[in-house]
């Protein structure tokens, strides 16, 4: 069964004291981390959500975005199951990232270091 857990990587804190939030996708004891693109100060992070943020609109926006990302990942896993394929974490991550790449404008896509790095590795 596929599960999603939102975690904050405290080992990657930037100069603004913000740490990135990742979606940890698990299926049959295999896991992978999927970047959400959201960074939050650790004092505002608890139990997979942004809480007690000074700006309640920003808090709501972050939580809605994280829920949306989680739902997209679970949706991709469900698509695999409908095709009678096993939703292995790396395959789900790849499909999610490919879909996110399609949504970026070409200029942003070319500047994205992660995509350049992936192309270099391939």
pLDDT category at 116 given cuts 50, 70, 90 is low
Q: Tell me how far apart the alpha carbons of residues 49 and 87 are, in angstroms, rounded to a whole number.
A: 25
Distances (CA, A) of 11 to 7, 14, 30, 118, 121: 12, 9, 22, 22, 24
What are 96-109's pLDDT values in tens digits? 998 887 665 555 54
Quick one: how many helices (H) and strands (E) in the chain? 4, 5
d(CA 51, CA 63): 9
How far apart CA 15 and CA 63 sit, in angstroms, is 23
pLDDT over 60 at 39, yes or no: yes
Q: What is the DSSP letter of 68?
A: H
| Nearest residue to 73 via CA among 31, 40, 12, 115 | 31
Task: Please tell me the predicted confidence (pLDDT) of residue 114.
Answer: 63
Q: State the alpha helices, DSSP H only, in the chain.
A: 56-82, 89-103, 106-111, 113-121
């Amino acid at each position: 069964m596929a599960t999603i857990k939102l975690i904050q990587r405290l080992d990657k804190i930037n100069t603004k004291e913000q740490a990135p939030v990742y979606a940890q996708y698990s299926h049959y004891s295999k896991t992978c981390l999927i970047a959400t693109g959201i960074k939050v100060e650790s004092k505002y992070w608890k139990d997979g959500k942004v809480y007690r943020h000074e700006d309640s609109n920003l808090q709501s926006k972050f939580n809605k975005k994280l829920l949306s990302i989680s739902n997209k990942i679970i949706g991709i896993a469900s698509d695999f199951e409908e095709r009678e394929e096993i939703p292995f974490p790396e395959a789900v991550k790849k499909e999610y990232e490919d879909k996110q790449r399609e949504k970026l404008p070409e200029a942003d896509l070319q500047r994205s270091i992660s995509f350049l790095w992936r192309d270099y590795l391939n």
